[in-house]
Structure 1
């Protein structure tokens, strides 16, 4: 009799689902699948397609308040049948009207088909030399007969742009020994996650023509631990094409991340077109052609949403804004002070929006009135920044002329209130960096999400004040760390800086990232306010050439922590022995999808099982 397990019982690519499901049971029957396998998409409406409670009694017995709802499962009807599915050329572009659950399912089915039949993995690296590869010519061959997609409930209207926790992402997956696959969920996003997992059951044959799973029968129930799971990508310090950005979104979706944070402007450049103020990007971008047009911006947001990934746009302010100077010099104080820029800013060029300026307020009003209605169809959030604001810069602000906290704090309160009032008025929820709450003592609305990056202690302070928090401690989840200083040093200071480590060295390898617990140091009574987190890819030393390998597969380690939790069912840190071969396989799958992810281990280690472990006792 097979048993359902919370953890994998052995380190084997034959069970390499990433991130790890809540419950996963499989056996070792080989099933093949053909390109013309039909997908049947059911939705609430008709009768007699079986009971979810019958299919997954263990789920409903032990998780009575979670998982796909069985109540309406006897009222399903076939909505659509696919064979060799394809999308129209307009599917990724659409209109300004946002994304529907139907579009998410359409895209997920097509993506799953492409992943299995066009971008799959030939798993030679995960078997010993001279392994016996399954063949459709060896004995009796069973093929998967159909793939049933069962949307049990009606999608909420905000399914593609929810606030954290508003959309049920759980799913159930079964694959019978006879070849019937079923993916069931309460929402289209859950269906998309289930289809992603389904693709990870399959491998390509060495002949390039056949595809199989060695795992049947399979039963999976899955749901995320954290509501917000994302990557923050800086596209202001270096230029990335829309295809570079979309590739990161693809990887996020395949790792079941549901947020993509676009840090789109900063001191060094303003690459985002604002149609009502075209001079901002025309003068503030590195080059006039290195700009995300309004059409590009809409396309990127939609491309994320159609994969169940909500894009959160950040315009960092009042600091990190000196690129505005190129178009509107009167709005910026302390612009590009040399040689001692570090007295006034975290990075060159120095410069900050003036803090008590009517002209600045008029500018922000016009900026956000242009931008936020174009964000609203695709997101429920807008990030107003607020990190690393240097008080000394306001000595050069003719509306303030002071670096005194007593003078600056009320002005910062007014600045943040003005921005957040406008964000709310346009239907969005504000997000800020932790400094606004903890360093500037700004009183924030109870709806404001506070993003932490400096310490676990900061997270504990944020939730103690009653705010929802996003984690991303730079000592663990900053993906740019460990490459050394990007600054140059004069001979007078060079010896003091040697050997030129960056502030967050060393390089954060996947094991360190994987060992980090987002709830570390947070009292149990406040842990519900930690809604998730993000890994951060700052771009001082990253550009399109190395972006993929800087994020992936370390970002996958973050994804599993946020989906599955940092601890196993016995409260221990998750095992590297289990994770390593699974993460190696996820890396290969990402490469197959066109993502230039770095390797985890040499093939010898993945081929020979546990020979590359120290202290392994079985």
Structure 2
């Protein structure tokens, strides 16, 4: 570990904002905020006025833009007055860190100014369609102005505004930073988390809480991996037998109303939901209702020859019955999703060619035989997606392993190696990054497979999973999505996602495994991995207290995020550094 000698003491926690803004200046004056402060929302041809407190119970009405801003104001009230915290662990134990409660000076007004009219579709934005940048000014006299070209930008600015405030131990909320000026905008358009709700079932409230945490970190995509080999929890009214027989059990399904609730909740927080139905592999849960559609079902004991995980099973590649099934599935599902989102993920990863030797419509594992059949399959599925007005998303194997041709509109999700995104962009395709060596949050918890006793199993000792070790927040933070990407191809890196596969993750441990590590990725995707001043990776030393603050803010929101450090490190500033001189000793 090499740190520069003479590291300065850490900035006060009061300066903490996450993700770090593009440009940020602040003073040291204290301002308090009242829950009845006047707020105005101005956009072309629209003006609205209300108080912060009254907004918390306001009706969800108006245009998409107005609903987004209304929701952002409501969240600001909840965050500042009901979900804040007293920052005792970040201040020296013997210091008087709180301001005096006499002669309070208050925020006078908050003006939200949207200087352009949102285009249609603000509740289902496409990549880069809406400017999420904002300017936040807190004047010395207590006048606040947040300006943006979009309602989504105003929502991001209000999120930052809430991070300036702390709860006081004697009541009320204050900032010690006035005056403030922040000019901010995201580095990448797609900033997401992949949540696997198929290998373990997650109640709706867990998904909504995750969306809230994503929004508070200025992430804007929830990739919902909703079906897989082990279970099919998604209810399809035209095919009710899929979830009736494919879900883990009664009550472990997502109804159309549940899906609409998840999508709508996300849209109002600026988090677009992207559903994935993985295919043609990872589909063996379909066998329970439609065994005639699945090849190589649950081959034992050598399932690994036919699938990445048990139970094996893949949709047959040359079956008219499969294409009829797909037509019924998508004619039911996609019209319900298209008003709510602009994207649909069609999967395509980890196909084992050997499975098609057991497919009675193919009977071959020859790539020359399978390639045109896979091409026909993906063309058919993507036609369904596009006919519904949606843009397809796929895993990298579609173009890098199976050599299939897809449209330039398709987002290609890279995950296997650092070279994957390079290869995808060199082909002229848009890419989402998420290298498992850095951004797989489920890694490092040991094998979920069981090994029989004996000498043979000892070769797997100590039974690590394939992507060990665990990816610490520092490792997540060190990943640069633009690594090795040619400058003339960098515009094709649309963004990225951290991933939480659920073989060993459920509703009880998801929060701690996801947060605050996902927040580390959020700053990379919003602010960029490199410090503009140095051209080097951003400093862990500077990031650590800000991330620790974000952790406390998430806990105050009901998210069981793991701690970043012990209070000693946070209270005593620079005491927990590891300096370059230690290595030279």
After TM superposition, the score normalised by the length of structure 2 is 0.96
Q: Secondary structure at the match of 2:53?
A: coil
Aligned with 1:156 (options 108, 114, 119): 119
CA contact (8 A) 1:32 1:210 kept: yes
Gaps of 5+ in 1: 1-7, 46-76
Task: Report the CA distance between 1:604 and its aligned residue.
Answer: 0.6
Question: Structure 1 pair 616/82, CA: closer, same or farther in 2 (3 Å)?
Answer: farther
Residue equivalent to 1:581: 545
CA contact (8 A) 1:85 1:113 kept: no
> Following the alignment from structure 1 to structure 2, what is the Cα–Cα distance between the partners of residues 411 and 579?
49
Aligned with 2:82 (options 118, 121, 144): 118
Aligned with 2:172 (options 200, 204, 210): 210
Residue equivalent to 2:4: none
Q: Secondary structure at the match of 1:24?
A: strand
Task: Report the CA distance between 1:89 and its aligned residue.
Answer: 8.9
Residue equivalent to 1:257: 219
CA RMSD between the two structures:
1.6
Aligned residue runs from structure 1 range 222-233, under 5 A: 222-233=184-195
CA displacement, residues 475-495 of structure 1 (integer Å, 9 cap, x when unaligned): 000000000100001125311
CA displacement, residues 377-418 of structure 1 (integer Å, 9 cap, x when unaligned): 121110000000110111111100111101001000000000
Residue equivalent to 2:509: 546
> Following the alignment from structure 2 to structure 1, what is the Cα–Cα distance between the partners of residues 97 and 524?
33
Task: Report the CA distance between 1:473 and its aligned residue.
Answer: 0.2
CA displacement, residues 251-310 of structure 1 (integer Å, 9 cap, x when unaligned): 000000011100000000000100111110011000032101110011001010010111
Q: Secondary structure at the match of 1:147?
A: strand
- Greater Cα offset, 582-591 or 27-36: 27-36
Q: Secondary structure at the match of 1:305?
A: helix
> Following the alignment from structure 1 to structure 2, what is the Cα–Cα distance between the partners of residues 36 and 580?
34
Question: Does residue 1:81 correspond to 2:50, yes or no?
Answer: yes
Task: Report the CA distance between 1:151 and its aligned residue.
Answer: 1.3
How many aligned residue pairs are there?
Answer: 572
Q: Secondary structure at the match of 1:85?
A: helix
Question: Structure 1 pair 10/174, CA: closer, same or farther in 2 (3 Å)?
Answer: farther
Question: Does residue 1:243 correspond to 2:205, yes or no?
Answer: yes
Question: Structure 1 pair 39/90, CA: closer, same or farther in 2 (3 Å)?
Answer: closer
Aligned residue runs from structure 1 range 102-181, under 5 A: 102-138=66-102, 140-181=103-144
Aligned with 2:298 (options 327, 332, 336): 336
CA contact (8 A) 1:30 1:134 kept: no
Task: Report the CA distance between 1:80 and its aligned residue.
Answer: 2.7
Q: Secondary structure at the match of 2:17?
A: coil
Aligned residue runs from structure 1 range 103-502, under 5 A: 103-138=67-102, 140-207=103-170, 209-492=171-454, 493-502=456-465
Question: Structure 1 pair 89/346, CA: closer, same or farther in 2 (3 Å)?
Answer: farther
CA displacement, residues 103-124 of structure 1 (integer Å, 9 cap, x when unaligned): 1101000000110000002111
CA contact (8 A) 1:85 1:109 kept: no
> Following the alignment from structure 2 to structure 1, what is the Cα–Cα distance between the partners of residues 482 and 94?
45
Residue equivalent to 2:5: none
> Following the alignment from structure 1 to structure 2, what is the Cα–Cα distance between the partners of residues 473 and 137?
49
> Following the alignment from structure 1 to structure 2, what is the Cα–Cα distance between the partners of residues 322 and 121?
47
Task: Report the CA distance between 1:10 and its aligned residue.
Answer: 4.7
Task: Report the CA distance between 1:34 and its aligned residue.
Answer: 1.3
CA contact (8 A) 2:38 2:49 kept: no
> Following the alignment from structure 1 to structure 2, what is the Cα–Cα distance between the partners of residues 99 and 322?
42
Q: Secondary structure at the match of 2:449?
A: coil
> Following the alignment from structure 1 to structure 2, what is the Cα–Cα distance between the partners of residues 403 and 187?
51
Gaps of 5+ in 2: 1-7
Question: Structure 1 pair 9/422, CA: closer, same or farther in 2 (3 Å)?
Answer: farther
> Following the alignment from structure 2 to structure 1, what is the Cα–Cα distance between the partners of residues 50 and 546?
33
Question: Does residue 1:596 correspond to 2:565, yes or no?
Answer: no
- Greater Cα offset, 549-558 or 162-171: 162-171
Question: Structure 1 pair 568/380, CA: closer, same or farther in 2 (3 Å)?
Answer: same
> Following the alignment from structure 1 to structure 2, what is the Cα–Cα distance between the partners of residues 129 and 383?
50
Question: Does residue 1:517 correspond to 2:501, yes or no?
Answer: no
Q: Secondary structure at the match of 1:17?
A: coil
CA displacement, residues 503-532 of structure 1 (integer Å, 9 cap, x when unaligned): 000000000110010111111111110010
Residue equivalent to 2:573: 609
> Following the alignment from structure 1 to structure 2, what is the Cα–Cα distance between the partners of residues 587 and 579?
12
> Following the alignment from structure 1 to structure 2, what is the Cα–Cα distance between the partners of residues 163 and 554?
26
> Following the alignment from structure 1 to structure 2, what is the Cα–Cα distance between the partners of residues 399 and 12?
66
CA contact (8 A) 1:183 1:191 kept: yes
Q: Secondary structure at the match of 1:303?
A: helix
CA displacement, residues 6-62 of structure 1 (integer Å, 9 cap, x when unaligned): xx99533121000000000001000111121121111224xxxxxxxxxxxxxxxxx
> Following the alignment from structure 1 to structure 2, what is the Cα–Cα distance between the partners of residues 593 and 484?
30
> Following the alignment from structure 2 to structure 1, what is the Cα–Cα distance between the partners of residues 97 and 453?
61
